[in-house]
A and B are shown apart, each in its own frame.
Chain A
Amino acid sequence: DVKVTQSSRYLVKRTGEKVFLECVQDMDHENMFWYRQDPGLGLRLIYFSYDVKMKEKGDIPEGYSVSREKKERFSLILESASTNQTSMYLCASSPPTSGTGEQYFGPGTRLTVT
C-alpha cells in the first residue's frame, strides 16, 4: 500500500513565523505535489517536484517555497506566515507514468495562522 504521511495533522502558527510542512512517501515515486484546499475553491497546486532537487511552480506559489533533498521527502515552507495562508495543505505523490493518472494523497495538515 502506498503511504504518504504528513508531519502534522493540525498546526497553529503566528503571523510572520516561518512554517515547515513535511511530507514523506514510501513508494519511491518520482513526482510529489503540494496543494491547498479551501472551501469553494477545490484543490489548488502550489508546487510540484519531478525529481530530487527539481521543483516547478504551480498555480499559486506566492508566499511559499519547497525543498526536495531526498526522493521520499518534499517540504513546503511558508517564509513568513500570513492569515490568508490558513488552509488545509495536502501532499501527494505519483509515479512518472501511471496508467490511471492517479495521485496518492496524504491525510492533510490543517494550518491556522493567527
Chain B
Amino acid sequence: DQQVKQNSPSLSVQEGRISILNCDYTNSMFDYFLWYKKYPAEGPTFLISISSIKDKNEDGRFTVFLNKSAKHLSLHIVPSQPGDSAVYFCAASVGTYKYIFGTGTRLKVLA
C-alpha cells in the first residue's frame, strides 16, 4: 500500500511561471513532510520541509503547503527556472527513522 503518492510522473512548465508539484498521503501519524530534488547521477538533496502542525512553510522561491484534512501537500516554485528541472520526491516521516517516499515527479522547466 503506497502511503505517499505522487500521481503526476511528469510536469512541464515555462520558465518564469509557477510549478506546482502535488503529493497525497494516507497516514495521519506522519510528523514531517519533506521535498527532495534529484538530478541524474546524484543523490537526492533536501529542499524544504513542513511540520505536521503547520500549514505553510516558505523558503525563497519554494513554498510547501499542507492540507491535513485532505491529506495533501504541494510544493510551489515561483518563478520556475531551467535549473529547477529535476525529479522531485515528496517524503513523510514518522519518528526519527521511518521515512516513506513518493515515486517522484519529473519537472521540466522550458526556457
Contacts and interface: CB of A to CB of B under 8 A. Distances in A.
Interface of A: 4, 9, 31, 33, 35, 40-45, 48, 50, 56, 90, 92, 94, 96-97, 100-108
A104 B46 contact: yes
A4 B49 CA distance: 20
Contacts of A4: 43
Nearest to B51: A101
Contact of B96 (A92, A96, A104): A96
B32 interface: yes
Contacts of A45: 98-99
7 contacts: A4-B43, A35-B101, A41-B103, A42-B104, A90-B43, A101-B32, A101-B49
B42 A107 contact: yes
Contacts, number: 60
B23 to A, nearest CB: 11
Nearest to B30: A101
B43 A105 contact: yes
Interface of B: 4, 6, 9, 31-32, 34, 36, 41-46, 49, 89, 91, 93, 96-99, 101-104
A87 to B, nearest CB: 14
B41 A100 contact: no
Contact of B103 (A42, A101, A103, A104): A42
B32 A90 contact: no
B46 A100 contact: yes
Contacts of A107: 41-43
Given A43-B89, A48-B97, A96-B96, A105 B45 contact: yes
A101 B34 contact: yes
Contact of A43 (B32, B44, B45, B97): B44
Contacts of A108: 41-43
Given A41-B103, A42-B89, A31 B46 contact: no
A56 to B, nearest CB: 7
A105 B45 CA distance: 7
Nearest 7 CB-CB pairs, A to B?
A: A105-B43, A101-B32, A43-B101, A42-B103, A42-B101, A100-B49, A102-B46
